[in-house]
A and B are shown apart, each in its own frame.
Chain A
């Protein structure tokens, strides 16, 4: 396990080397609370490496095996971490493909809004750019998760194989300021989001409410392609891995080469 210290925090990073000639670099960013880099590692990391991409993964601060500081959970803190990892640890010069699951997609869009020239493409699964509507939902989701995870022992009793993940998420919500800080993040100017000119692929589960945000994303990013997968909800990446993989690889091939 590799832990690196960047932007004042210890972060867990992993890397999957490209198979054959390298065609680009992908950074995979996971979602909030109970998520970790594992959901990417076990689904898309290898297929992307096989497509020639150098695949970089990390656990967000407060998540997985990364450090859980008491404070420092504004959107900008997460974007600063990604920026520091790319510059100081992975030392990536050229533009990268950013893959984000749920909140991870928001980190990806925010990084691209900050550095449009450093991003070659964005794949957002069940996600949206940092808009007021999305952060409103996030505030409610965080509050609900805090309630659900408050009695972590009850969850552990029912779902023993979820135990450590539930405890990590419970500690994040109970012992840090994420619930207060993240929903109150300063969001970037919508014009900065609209200035992102790289290709964008957005995937949604038909049963998830996140797809209601698609219209605004399309308005901000008219070049974005939107695909709704029938029969799945917010955990699309895990539950519909084959469909996600097929959509992503076809989309990559259509413009990467």
Chain B
């Protein structure tokens, strides 16, 4: 896994544990972890996660655009890895600050 993805996964891990609170997983969150079946995320948790992504990455990552390409039923089948890749790609497109 590229190093930028490792860093993003660590960020996402923290955000997911914040969102889920007491309902968070005991197990490690990996690229293969699914939001719905492994983490038990409900739709409102996805909104909370989007808010945290916005706060962390600003407008360089558009999570709403990402989820709107999935319908509500299939958003639960999304893996953490898909999100991490999307974030890493989005960040790649942002010109580095000088």
Residues of A within 8 A of B (CB): 1-2, 14, 16-17, 36-39, 41-43, 45-47, 49-50, 59, 64-65, 160-165, 238-239, 241-242
Chain B residues, CB < 8 A from A39:
43, 72
Given A37-B47, A165-B44, 18 extra CB contacts under 8 A: A16-B64, A36-B43, A36-B47, A37-B44, A38-B72, A41-B47, A42-B43, A43-B68, A43-B71, A45-B68, A46-B65, A161-B40, A161-B41, A161-B42, A162-B42, A164-B42, A164-B44, A241-B72
Interface mask (B32-69 → A, CB under 8 Å = 1, otherwise 0): 00001000111110111011000000010010110110
The chain B residue sitting closest to A43, CB to CB, is B72
Chain B residues, CB < 8 A from A165:
42-44
Main secondary structure of the interface of A (DSSP, over half): helix
Could you list some 5 contacts between A and B, CB below 8 A? A37-B47, A39-B43, A43-B72, A45-B64, A46-B67
The chain A residue sitting closest to B59, CB to CB, is A17
Chain B residues, CB < 8 A from A43:
68, 71-72
Chain A residues, CB < 8 A from B46:
38, 41-42
Given A41-B64, A46-B65: A164 and B71 interface contact (C-beta under 8 Å): no
Q: Are B65 and A42 in contact (CB under 8 A)?
A: no
Query: 3 smallest A-B Cβ distances: which pairs?
Result: A38-B43, A46-B68, A46-B64
Docked Cα-Cα span, A156 to B47, in Å, equals 22
The chain A residue sitting closest to B50, CB to CB, is A41
The chain B residue sitting closest to A239, CB to CB, is B73
A44 to chain B, nearest CB (A): 8
Docked Cα-Cα span, A50 to B48, in Å, equals 21
Q: Are A238 and B47 in contact (CB under 8 A)?
A: no
The chain B residue sitting closest to A237, CB to CB, is B72
B26 to chain A, nearest CB (A): 16
Docked Cα-Cα span, A44 to B59, in Å, equals 19
Contact-residue size bin, chain B (C-beta under 8 Å from the other chain): 20 to 34
Chain B residues, CB < 8 A from A161:
36, 40-42, 76
Given A49-B64, A238-B73: A160 and B44 interface contact (C-beta under 8 Å): no
Docked Cα-Cα span, A29 to B64, in Å, equals 18
Docked Cα-Cα span, A47 to B40, in Å, equals 26
Q: Are A238 and B51 in contact (CB under 8 A)?
A: no
A85 to chain B, nearest CB (A): 17
Which one of A14, A17, A37 has the greatest number of beta carbons of chain B within 10 Å?
A: A14
Chain B residues, CB < 8 A from A38:
42-44, 46-47, 72
Q: Are A47 and B68 in contact (CB under 8 A)?
A: yes
B45 to chain A, nearest CB (A): 8
Query: Which residue in A49, A50, A59, A238 is a CB contact (below 8 Å) of B72?
Result: A238
The chain B residue sitting closest to A49, CB to CB, is B64
The chain B residue sitting closest to A36, CB to CB, is B44
Chain B residues, CB < 8 A from A239:
73
The chain A residue sitting closest to B70, CB to CB, is A42
Docked Cα-Cα span, A1 to B70, in Å, equals 22
The chain A residue sitting closest to B63, CB to CB, is A46
Q: Are B51 and A1 in contact (CB under 8 A)?
A: yes
Chain B residues, CB < 8 A from A241:
71-72
Q: At the interface, yes or no: B80 with Cβ under 8 Å from chain A? A: no
